[in-house]
Structure 1
């Protein structure tokens, strides 16, 4: 999987929107001490549980693949003309 030029920004946006989604679902806010890696995993698992993204195969569930799934998810949520998609 090749990284795109805006992947870091897309991941950051996916985490921000994912945290907002989690709050709307009734989860408390993530503490300042929670690592980005843990946030990615929590958001990934919530989106899989809510059937908003398809789960990875068990042997493929690792940090880079979860990040990639979140990037794919957020790219589908953004309008085509969004600057991060260019």
Structure 2
């Protein structure tokens, strides 16, 4: 797995967009007691279910790989001149 520049900021952006997508899809907002890992897994599984994200092999489904997959997803959706991609 290769390191992506600005990975933390890209993950934060992916979580913001993913959460907004989840709410639009009818999912209730996350509660303050939901952990970051729970949010990552929920958004990852929703995007996989809606075929917006390629699923990981089952033996590689873990928090780190899910976060990395979300970062790659958002990096592909942002315009090429976006500051987070510089």
TM-score range, shorter chain: over 0.9
Structure 1 unpaired stretches of 5+: none
Q: Is the Cα contact below 8 Å between 2:5 and 2:85 reproduced in 1? A: no
CA offsets 1:30-82 (integer angstroms, 9 cap, x no match): 00111111100000000000000110000000011000110011011100000
Q: Normalized against structure 2, the TM-score is what?
A: 0.96
Number of aligned positions between the proteins: 86
Give the TM-score taking structure 1 as reference length.
0.96
Aligned to 2:16: 16
Aligned positions of 1:60-75 closer than 5 A: 60-75=60-75
For structure 2, list consecutive stretches of 5 or more residues without a partner in the other structure. none
Runs of 4+ in 1 over 3 A off after TM superposition: none
TM-fit CA distance, 1:2: 3.1
Do structure 1's residue 79 and structure 2's residue 79 form an aligned pair?
Answer: yes
